[in-house]
């Protein structure tokens, strides 16, 4: 493992841990939909000398000297993001997705204002109004969800809630919703009630720029996204918005919530955006969706119950009730089989979020490795066999051997 040579020599304890994670990634299949593998170029940028610089402020208006090259890399990242998404204004400094959402709320809302977002237990995110999160503590929350009979958002119900609650901000976006969002319909409802709109496209941004999911622009006022997941960049985030909100967003990010940006991560974002501009990225995004649909179809053949009956994007949400296993136990046995998933609540779940009824699967990482529909059939079969043999460690180990053999033909980038 030449890439860890310096760490190996200097700090064997850290090396051993990193080596173990390297082996885990190499010999297993990552099916958590929020995870992916970056390119070697993105990794190089994240580990570069740009981490040595401190750069409070914005290009051309910094509080420290020596910013000539930092300004260039931040401006390049902003230009590329604008081009990729068709955004009027971009801030590339947010550290991560939740801080990006906090910045939007700080810029546009006052404590006690009403925001409207998707319920966490039906697919939404913590920052979209969960009671124990800052978004639920400092704002009045009006939540929408999905229909029990279809597992899909009912836009007529969203409109009824908005008319009754008159939110100041309506949020579209989710972390566990396997269908597409109608951003134009959300904007139409917002226009009717005098609300602003925000789309959190953290999960689907790579699909958006790849042309396989509708874009929130030009309808949505503010768009946030992480830069990893389907976008395949570093663990960070950006905020995009219509020009009229730009100054307020920038002020909320700095000095409102953050000090100096992480310049090495800004460089990695620029690299990732450049990669997403290539024609091959559109093919990658299309394959993510094709793989997810193939995985969903194969799981149905094996008797699994899928929320909403399938998927239109990169993820599949599985209700395991009919399989007689809970999500936590399924996650554990699949780990032993070399298949990494996450336990997840399903809509109208009667179980605790700490021990929910489902698991969440996704195809971005496997697709990055080059896996296609044929491999999705193998994965579905292994998932079924592992769950059928959840307490048989010998059988789970044998499945992992098969997984390891398949993985050998699909290397992880930079490993």
C-alpha separations of 49 from 46, 117, 227, 263, 264 in Å = 9, 40, 21, 9, 7
Tally the residues of the chain: 415
From 200, 250, 263, 319, active-site residue: 200
From 15, 54, 95, 138, active-site residue: 54
* Cα separation, 264 vs 258, whole angstroms: 16
From 235, 242, 251, 351, active-site residue: 235
| Sign of the torsion angle spanned by Cα atoms 41, 204, 345, 407 | negative
From 119, 229, 323, 369, active-site residue: 229
Residue 395, token pair as written in the block: 């059988």
For this structure, is 54 an active site residue? yes
* Cα separation, 65 vs 53, whole angstroms: 10
| Sign of the torsion angle spanned by Cα atoms 347, 28, 297, 390 | negative
From 127, 175, 220, 226, active-site residue: 226
Q: Specify the 3-state DSSP secondary structure of 285.
A: helix
From 3, 56, 329, 385, active-site residue: 56
For this structure, is 226 an active site residue? yes
For this structure, is 200 an active site residue? yes
Find where tokens 């996704």 sit: 362
What is the DSSP-derived secondary structure letter of residue 411?
P
Q: Specify the 3-state DSSP secondary structure of 144.
A: strand
**What residues act catalytically?**
54, 56, 200, 226, 229, 235
């Amino acid at each position: 493992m030449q890439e860890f040579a310096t760490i190996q020599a200097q700090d064997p304890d850290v090396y051993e841990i990193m080596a173990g994670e390297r082996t885990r990634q190499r010999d297993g299949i990552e099916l958590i939909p929020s995870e992916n593998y970056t390119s070697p170029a993105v990794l190089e940028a994240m580990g570069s000398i740009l981490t040595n610089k401190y750069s409070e402020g914005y290009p051309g208006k910094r509080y420290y000297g020596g910013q000539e090259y930092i300004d260039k890399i931040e401006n390049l990242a902003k230009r590329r993001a604008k081009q990729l998404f068709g955004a009027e204004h971009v801030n590339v400094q947010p550290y991560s997705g939740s801080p990006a959402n906090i910045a939007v709320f700080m810029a546009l809302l006052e404590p006690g204002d009403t925001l409207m977002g998707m319920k966490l237990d039906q697919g939404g995110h913590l920052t979209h109004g969960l009671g124990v999160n800052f978004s639920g503590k400092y704002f009045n929350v009006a939540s929408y969800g999905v229909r029990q009979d279809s597992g899909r958002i009912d836009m007529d119900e969203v409109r009824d809630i908005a008319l009754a609650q008159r939110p100041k901000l309506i949020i579209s976006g989710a972390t566990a919703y396997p269908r597409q969002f109608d951003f134009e319909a959300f904007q139409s409802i917002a226009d009717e009630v005098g609300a602003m709109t925000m789309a959190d496209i953290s999960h689907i941004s790579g699909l958006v720029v790849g042309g396989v999911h509708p874009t929130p622009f030009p309808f949505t006022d503010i768009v946030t996204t992480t830069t990893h997941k389907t976008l395949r960049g570093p663990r960070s985030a950006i905020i995009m918005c219509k020009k009229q909100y730009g100054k307020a967003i920038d002020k909320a990010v700095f000095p409102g919530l953050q000090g100096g940006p992480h310049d090495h991560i800004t460089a990695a974002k620029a690299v990732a955006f450049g990669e997403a501009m290539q024609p091959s990225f559109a093919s990658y995004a299309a394959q993510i969706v094709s793989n997810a649909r193939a995985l969903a179809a194969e799981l149905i053949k094996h008797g699994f119950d899928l929320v909403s009956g399938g998927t239109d994007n990169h993820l599949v949400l599985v209700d395991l009730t009919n399989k007689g296993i809970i999500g936590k136990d399924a996650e554990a046995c699949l780990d032993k089989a070399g298949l990494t998933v996450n336990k997840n609540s399903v809509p109208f779940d009667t179980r605790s979020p700490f021990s929910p009824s489902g698991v969440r699967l996704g195809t971005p990482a496997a697709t990055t490795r080059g896996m296609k529909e044929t491999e999705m059939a193998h994965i579905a079969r292994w998932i079924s066999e592992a769950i059928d043999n959840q307490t048989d460690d010998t059988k789970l180990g044998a499945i992992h051997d098969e997984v390891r053999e398949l993985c050998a033909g699909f290397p992880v980038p930079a490993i």
